Amino acid sequence: MQFMNILSFIIIGFFGNSLAAIHNSTVPPYVHQCIENDPEIEKCAIVALHHIRPYLKAGIPEIEMPKVEPFRIDSLSLALTTGPNGYKITLRNLDIFGASNYTIKKLKLSKNGSPVEAKVHFPKMKIDAKYTSSGVLIILPASGNGTFHADFTDVYALVRVAVSHFERDNLNWYNADKMEIDLKITQAHMAVKNIFNNNRILNEAINLFLRENGEEVIRIMMPQLRTKLAGVFKKIANQLLKHVNLETFLKSA
């Protein structure tokens, strides 16, 4: 179904957050319409997703869509060393910046019920979070609280979305049934501040560990990060799709 293919791809935009519109006679300014049965519909869908980026950054009040800069993840818990006194950290209230500055590099539309796939590039992303740690790091007791900051450069995401279709009021509607996200972070810099009443030695020890073991920290973080991101954006997608129909996005040739 051509309708399924087009909106399936549009749902991919919910990773970079969403492309959505309330069905009415006037096309909202944040919607770039595509022509039904366009043989190059993929190119138009990419243009539409790029068109909405500034609106995503600021939010779209008329569809109750909050701004996506930043969006928040509740927590990530990481066991970084083993043993009874292993070094463990918990990041809470993670504010993630850079999600609205994306480029769709490639897409594969749904065929015969297969998931839509899109490759997305984020040139810069950053995370600010509250930090709690416990255990021993090297030979230092490393329990404490503080703040965590990460800068990510050249983040690549492979997004897969399975959707279902239904009709209501003679219009075509969709639901995001499942979303999966694979991430590749090309370069990462992570640091903590104000650990245990700004203990200088502990701050320096933790930051040295993060610098020397950054790839391992990212590897341990990745499964939770992928799951949390997919959950956040699937929820956003379905909340917005309650107010969205396919006819908003397509126009006749």
* 128 — pLDDT class (breaks 50, 70, 90): very high
Fold of 34-251: Bactericidal permeability-increasing protein; domain 1 (3.15.10)
pLDDT at 21: 42
- For the chain, the average pLDDT equals 82
Residue whose token pair is 């979305």: 161
* pLDDT tens digits, one per residue of 57-84: 888 888 888 888 898 999 998 888 777 7
pLDDT at 13: 47
For the chain, what are the domain ranges?
A: 34-251
Rama region for 138: left / alpha / beta (φ>0; ψ in -120 to 50; rest):
left
Query: What pTM, to 2 d.p., does this model score?
Result: 0.81
Helix/strand/coil percent split, the chain, to 5: 30, 40, 30
Nearest residue to 96 (alpha-carbon basis) of 198, 25, 179, 17 = 17
- Residue at 24: amino acid letter: N
- Judged by average pLDDT, the poorest of 79-83, 123-127, 225-229, 238-242 is 238-242
**Tokens describing residue 236:** 């956003």
In angstroms, the CA 195 to CA 150 distance is 16
Which residues in 138-153 are b (16+ Cβ under 10 Å) and which e? eebebbbebebebebe
Position 123 pLDDT exceeds 70: yes
Position 130 pLDDT exceeds 90: yes
